[in-house]
Structure 1
Amino acid sequence: MDKPDVILTYGDKAAVYADKSLGGTGPVVVFVPGLGGVAQHFFENNSMYKNAVDAGFRAAVVGFKFPDGKALDMWSNGELLAKQISDICSYFHVPKVTIVAHSKGGVDSQAAAVHFGAYKNIDSIITLATPHWGSQLADIAYSSVGWAFAELIKAHSPGCFAMQTVCMREFRKITDNSPNNVAPIKTFAGNGGADELSRMYFGHLLLDKYGENDGVVTVESAHNPKGEHMGTYPYNHAQMGKGKFMWKHLEPVLKGKKAEPAVPVFAPRKISRPAHILRGGSLEKGIDESFYIDSTAERIIITVTFSGEFNHRLFSLASPSGLRKILAAKKESSGVIIYKTEILDPQPGKWRLLAAPCKGAYTAVICLMGKNTFCACPSSPAPGKVNAEMRILRTCADSYDVVAEYSFKNGNELPRAPKLKNGIYNVELNLHGELDDGSLYERTLIRPIASGGSITEFLRSRGI
């Protein structure tokens, strides 16, 4: 068996794959792919499908097709998936199947079960690194700093939009306590690393402030509130969907046993979480972006994702004293180029990220690490010297509008939330001020919200 055959088609929308020659009476396992919806994820350069068949399971793989290249949300995929599951049951002459879903496929599977009646045909849903509470990477993709880069790599889609944390909070509200939420859910999470010049590593840096993560999904988000957690393993997000890494943990669960224990079970927990400064946009006119590093930073890591023509000397960093450093570069197979540098004991003051004009777009994360850096504000801001700039965007799957902008100082009256129409909004907060030792600091906070009523609460929770 090299590759499974197409056994069911749904016009130009989807297909189901399985080995037509496969007989027997073993349990039926259905693999559901993540955001891209590509069935081949499980049987090309991945042993997952073959592992299942070799272990005596009858296996099928579902796939979704997107003629315009834009992945669909859990509602569209869930409705179609419910039909696919019913048809797979008929094909194999079984009443129920077990779902194994990677990443967003787990959300699609629960939508199919709870909201489109597929629970009648499901024994259990096993999720591998599924963002049950969304991913902050999706939040960044729909911010002003992440928009240009995400648009250039064609990340924006109804599927990506739905993975924002605010959208998934709403999904949880209408899903978790539904009377149809009866299919048992078993979850796996990853907290492993990746090559330091990779998009996965960039994701790690962005997500580190939220806790352990696999480069795309945090361990916390990979837990389903009504599910049973099987284990957290030292793999990154891509590895969590690969048979080479996960089959030994997955097979026992499919056979009703405990998962194979991880070694180590958990990555070492960080003593303190990093703080972030974010930048991003088009490089058509080049950039000379300044930012402030304060005295609490013991180490900084600057990582840039860029889509455009490769130039290994495109980005450079200038210290307050004027020293310049070229960021190391690597081009991934996807075409995205990663730039990175790391500075120990960085000089406090005004730093600059520079790049010459070219066609392309970038997103940069300046990650500040130290025992007193903290995510929102350093431990010792000078009284009355915390300032903030806030921008509110109304976002859609493929566009955004700036609906409000504010600039205010600590002690001023909080901005009154504008009258916002129903929809999804992104609140971007750039904090800056002075520590009691005189050094200037800066932090970037991004959070999507479903209405304007929670803006004031969001600000107060950040000490503004």
Structure 2
Amino acid sequence: MKKLICIVAVMLFLSSASYVYAGTIGDPPGTPGKWYKGEEPIQKDGSKPPLVFVHGINSSSSTWSNRNDMAKQAVQNGYESAFIDLHPDQDMKKNGKLLAEKLKEIYDAFGRKLIVIGHSKGGIDTQSALVYFKAHPYVEKVITLGSPHNGTPLADLAYSKGGGWLAQILGQKSEALYSLQTGLMAAFRSETDQLEAFPNKYVTYSGSEWGTFGGALYLGGMYLKSFGTNDGAVTVNSTKLSYANNILTGKWDHYSIKNGTSMFPVFQHQLLANASSAENKPKEEQEPVSAELNTDVYVKGGESEKDKTEVFYVEEGTNGLSIQWLNERQETQPEIIAPNGDVLTNLKTSEASFPYEGAYSHHVKINKPVPGKWTIQSNSGKMAPYLLLVSFDSPLNEEIKEAASKSGGASTHSSGLIKRLSKSVETNYFKDAQKDHPVKTSSSSAIQLKKEGAYSVTVQYTGLTTSGTSAFNRTVIRTLYVDQHGTIHGDIPY
């Protein structure tokens, strides 16, 4: 009898394994191309479309079930579901090709059209599958959650001269991250939007929260805040498509926007809504993706010596500072010395997030900082890459932006609060996601964009206030892309 039970159990196991396609949700780290049927709802409703969940960058199908009840929410609400693993580190074209093949398989398995729900880059991979690899006949609708359809400046930062050293040593530079730079995504949008054969069937959601000081998404949120409202990884404007139903911006961050309890009740009414109905027409007009300069940060980074010292300047009238020093070692905290000699040593330390997973952020907020020259010293004990990010809450931010925009970053400029404004430009050319090549530029030269490819452009602004005694500095970083026709995509950062 026991033997018979064992045989039956094995047969049931093999049958089940075949049914769910050789795995269960949450198998880490995920095998690209594998997909899994979710748990069957108790009462299957053939009028409800099957849901396919697509993860984002550096992730896997487990993102929907590991400390997330999205998979459970689908079951409880009577939906059949599937969860797929794509390449966590590849661009949207490679993932799009793979996803298109699997969407056909999933469509055949369920026997009816699918609704795809993509988190972050998963939404871009899905559009690539539909547009370039002809998967649109299998899909009824696409819902994207915090997807950077127009790229993210955090990817620009990771490929900049200052921010690239640390991203490289952490192993974060990849085809996936490379593809999310704003210039490359501008090129992708230019090509893709004119080919889109699936209009008005995209629904987008975005988040406006990035947590509190020292939280997991604080670094990204602080850097992105001058680009607009954001979720700690992606700005709200970047999540929108001109032809999509840009439904809602809610109080989610980039992680919670994929949480089942938070989101399923929010988008559930869209699962059965007719794409041509009035309910599914855009409710939010898309604002143009901001081309304004983000003149509230100073960025410096590189491959550190054992003892590294950096300086930056704080102008009078600054209301507050947020200082972040990123490196590989939790125990290596920098020492911050104010112009009046005060020394700060007890910085808060937390694990860094996208795009610097694996690093540690040592940070402090300072109200009403003393004007003048500030010094940061770090003793890592070995050659180690680092990244310094200083965010300024200052009335000078807007004036620098206006002055730089009007003058094109001229070497001298005078305005209400600014006596002198100067700039220096550094450009790196990328043949691929891993190797950069410096392009010689002088402090006053225009950016030379001659070859097809990506160009990371860093502009360092320095100057004096009208008092003549207070210096300031800011950094603007952008990625531009030159296509095969010589067209420049992205915003020149001055």
Give the TM-score category using the shorter length: 0.7 to 0.9
Conservation of the 8 A alpha-carbon contact between 1:128 and 1:240: yes
- Percent same amino acid among aligned pairs? 26
Per mean C-alpha deviation after superposition, the further-off stretch among 190-199 and 213-222 is: 190-199
Q: CA deviation at 1:317?
A: 1.2
Q: Deviations over 1:160-186 (max 9, x none)?
A: 000000111111111112152336100
From 353, 376, 393, the equivalent of 2:401 is 376
Which residue in the other structure is 2:187 paired with? 170
TM-superposed CA distance for 1:280, in Å, is: 1.6
Instruction: Provide the rounded CA distance (Å) in 2 between the counterparts of 1:74 and 1:85.
Output: 15
Per-residue CA deviation, residues 367-407 of structure 1 (Å, 9 max, x unaligned), is 00133422636763545x22111101012311211112322
- Tell me the CA shift for residue 289 of structure 1: 0.5
Out of 224, 232, 245, the residue aligned to residue 228 of structure 1 is 245
Whether 2:472 is the aligned partner of 1:441: answer yes
Q: Is 1:292 the equivalent of 2:316?
A: no
SS of structure 1 residue aligned to 2:187 = helix
How big is each residue's C-alpha offset from its partner over 1:310-358, in whole Å with a ceiling of 9 and x where there is no partner? 21x6212111122111252334396432211111111221111210133
Stretches of structure 2 lacking an aligned partner (at least 5 in a row)? 1-15, 24-29, 281-292, 404-414
Q: Distance in 1 between the 2:31 and 2:70 partners?
A: 25
Alignment equivalent of 1:346, drawn from 354, 363, 369 = 369
Q: 1:220 to 1:327 in 2, by over 3 A?
A: farther
- For the residue of structure 1 that corresponds to 2:391, the secondary structure is strand
Q: Does 1:307 align with 2:341?
A: no
Q: Distance in 2 between the 1:441 and 1:21 partners?
A: 61
Match of 1:56 in 2: 78
Quote the Cα distance in structure 2 between the aligned partners of 1:296 and 1:394.
38
Q: 1:211 pairs with 228, 234, 240, which one?
A: 228
How far apart are the structure 2 equivalents of 1:192 and 1:252? Answer: 23
CA–CA distance in structure 2, aligned partners of residues 223 and 453 of structure 1: 23
Larger Rg: 2
Instruction: Return the offset for 1:419.
Output: 5.6
What is the identity, as a one-letter code, of the residue corresponding to 1:16? W
Deviations 1:252-283 (A, max 9, x none): 22232979xxxxxxxxxxxx987000112233
For 1:104 and 1:372, locate their aligned partners in 2 and report how far apart those are by CA, in whole Å: 35
What's the RMSD between the two structures over aligned residues?
2.8
The amino acid across from 1:328 in the alignment is L
Between Structure 1 and Structure 2, which shows a larger proportion of strand residues? 1
Give SS of 1:177's match: helix
Aligned length: 431
Which of 398, 422, 425 is the equivalent residue of 2:455? 425
- Cα contact 2:313–2:372 (8 A) shared by 1: yes
What SS does the corresponding residue of 2:68 show, helix, strand or coil?
A: coil
- For the structure 1 residues 237 and 31, does the alpha-carbon distance in structure 2 shift closer, same or farther, using more than 3 Å as the test? same
> What TM-score comes out, normalization by structure 2 length?
0.81
Is 1:398 matched with 2:434? Answer: yes
Could you tell me which residue of structure 2 aligns to residue 99 of structure 1?
116
SS in 1 for 2:217: helix
- Helix, strand or coil for the counterpart of 1:85? helix
CA contact (8 A) 2:335 2:378 kept: yes
Structure 1 unaligned residues grouped into runs of 5+? 260-271, 409-414
> 2:99 maps to which residue?
81
Matches within 5 A, 1:257-272: none
In 2 relative to 1, CA 37–301 (structure 1 residues): closer, same or farther, beyond 3 Å?
closer
CA drift of 1:426 comes to 0.8
SS in structure 2 at match of 1:64: coil
1:388 aligns with 2:423: yes
| In 2: Cα distance, 1:256 partner to 1:382 partner | 55
Q: Distance in 2 between matches of 1:240 and 1:424?
A: 31
TM-score (norm 1): 0.86
